[in-house]
Chain A
Amino acid sequence: MENSNKNNSVTNSSPIKDGSKVITAKELTKRFGDFTAVDKISFEVEKGEIFGFLGANGAGKTTAMRMLCGLSMPTSGSATVAGYDVYNQNELIKKNIGYMSQKFSLYEDLTIRENIKLYAGIYGLSDARIKEKTAQLLEELHMQGEEKTLVRALPLGWKQKLAFSIAIVHDPAIVFLDEPTGGVDPITRREFWTLIYQASEKGITVFVTTHYMDEAEYCNRVSIMVDGRMDALDSPANLMKTYSAKSMDDVFLQLARKAVRVE
């Protein structure tokens, strides 16, 4: 911990250079007993990319993401995140990623400021940097004056935006977002994507799962998971061409209909 205190940004320690792959997965598989949640998926994500991870409920998106974040042990295959191996360097991965889970997981009984301070502190930011970051974050979220509000009292949309901002408070190389806009109104979703773009401009690679096909079109590339397999992977425009579809909705329906697995 002491080492990273000296660097304000932990990203410095990542061995990833510009234009290189920040995530590589090769035949990554996760089985729970007889059930294969993730079935030999292989893909690469480039630095700075917004990578969409699509799939129906139960297609294996969250499981795949949890393996990449070092929260779940893969059954077989290989993967590296930020240049570190998911099997034995998972704690190093954790220094270089941000994660926002599907279930809201900030502390509801702490205030906005206290949550920011806690996570900034956990990732080793200095006191001065924490102060600076808190001010910047409150401004970006238009939450000035609300810093002493308990997170519990915030509307869902605000909570989600706050959770995202805290997930990248330490300027990670990659941020993993698991259905970040679930249950959020269209306006707030727009604002949320503005935040994602801002993060992407800062060089943070964004790995995002979603159900919303309009959101899929905001991504540089999308992959579509069906029954634990990765059935398609390309830019939204190319996918529409390949499947001769008018919209991403159409592409998704064509692929997802093949699913045999029900949630």
Chain B
Amino acid sequence: MRVLKFLLQKELRQIFRDKAIIRVLFIMPMIQLLILPLAADYEIKNINLGVVDHDHSEYSRKLVNKIISSGYFRLKDYSPSFEQGLHAIEKDKTDLILEIPAKFERDLVKENEATLLVAVNAINGVKAGLGGAYIQGIIQGYNQDVRMQWIQFPRINPQPTIEVTFSDWFNPNMNYRVFMVPGILVMLVTIIGSSFASNNIVREKEMGTIEQINVSPIKKWQFILGKLIPFWMLALVVLTIGFTIARVVYGIVPLGHYITIYIFASIYLLAILGLGLLLSTYAQTQQQSMLVSFFLTMIFNLLSGLFTPIESMPAWAQMITKFNPVSYFIEVMRMVVLKGSGLSDIRYHILAMLGFAIFFNSWAILNYRKRSG
């Protein structure tokens, strides 16, 4: 234990002496937490709309106005012909064309029926899909407005309508940030955990200082713990800063207990740091360890359920997420922050994470060689 004390002392001194690392450790999470939740969300806004209006009637103007005032669309192009409208799409000026045929108003009034054409640029699939759906919804609403205006509904509605009432549980205002901020926090501590510790060991390899350690009677577990504990503490500090920002800036206060999150986070960090340490026992240069940990964290984050729901992934990908520690933490975060889950609700997550922690750390200790072959 005494040896460990000396190692920890050394490690903490080195970390706090490296001003660049400290800056990265504390400023990076703050900036990310302040920018990402405000900028990156699922909602598609600012869809550039091109209108080809052959009708120039009151009805067509009303329709366009309704679309623009929805807030999702920006009128970027107003072309006299479809060809010219298409040209605007080709030049990336617009994402979507709404073509209103020449006899739109007349047909609508006379025939009770009119057709519209919506052409979508599907290069960005999400934007195209959602944009198309939004505009369809708005047109349907417009349709209702017209009906209301024209027809006095009889006592008994000839067309039965089913009205759906939504009740959004756990996140009643559908506040996107409440959903996103905890996830981004997970991403942050994951990046810190997986790359800082592994780079640290590999740096000792590059500098040659590990040789002096390897020729001493230090035990392997002492060395690994000496690396693990400081970064474990740092990551918990960063998590705390993150929660403070979430509370002060976004007003996010977990419904459950902070202690539940910290208990899980402590185990989670052991697992992630273990993975980082494992990488470092294989990597010879910081470049190698950076590349591999970058690759892994990217996959982990994209398959974590942070950006896309795990439930809508294909079955094989859902299997992969079972082996992804990040997805457990994202889920736990949302359960505790939004639903107020307690320790007993996340017991399986804790067990799984303990498994990860033991697995990665034992492998790291086994693979760390004080003597080369």
Contacts and interface: CB of A to CB of B under 8 A. Distances in A.
B216 A94 contact: yes
Contact of B3 (A1, A92, A99): A1
Given A73-B373, A109-B17, A91 B207 contact: no
Contact of A72 (B13, B209, B372): B372
A124 B2 contact: yes
A106 B217 CA distance: 16
For B213, B217, B371, which residue has the most chain A Cβ atoms within 10 angstroms?
Answer: B217
A97 B10 contact: no
Contacts of A94: 215-217
Interface in A91-116: 91-92, 94-95, 97, 99, 101, 103-110, 114
Interface string A115-136: 0011101111000000000000
A141 interface: no
Most chain A C-beta atoms within 10 Å of own C-beta, residue among B2, B5, B10, B215: B215
Contacts of B70: none
Given A71-B214, A72-B371, A73-B373, A110 B2 contact: no
Interface in B264-308: none
A70 interface: yes
Most buried by A among B5, B17, B216, B218: B216
A119 to B, nearest CB: 7
B6 A103 contact: no
Contacts of A248: none
Contact of B216 (A106, A107, A109, A119): A119
A230 interface: no
Interface residues of A, number: 32
Interface residues on B, range: 20 to 34
B215 A122 contact: no
A90 interface: yes
A114 B10 contact: yes
A239 B320 CA distance: 69
B92 interface: no
A254 interface: no
Nearest to B15: A109
B83 interface: no
Contacts of A97: 215
Interface in B194-231: 207-209, 211-219
Nearest to B215: A99
A198 interface: no
A110 to B, nearest CB: 6
Interface string B8-35: 0110011001100000000000000000
Given A107-B14, A118-B9, 12 more contacts: A72-B372, A73-B372, A91-B217, A91-B370, A105-B207, A105-B209, A107-B209, A108-B207, A109-B17, A109-B18, A114-B13, A124-B2
Interface of A: 1-2, 5, 69-73, 90-92, 94-95, 97, 99, 101, 103-110, 114, 117-119, 121-124
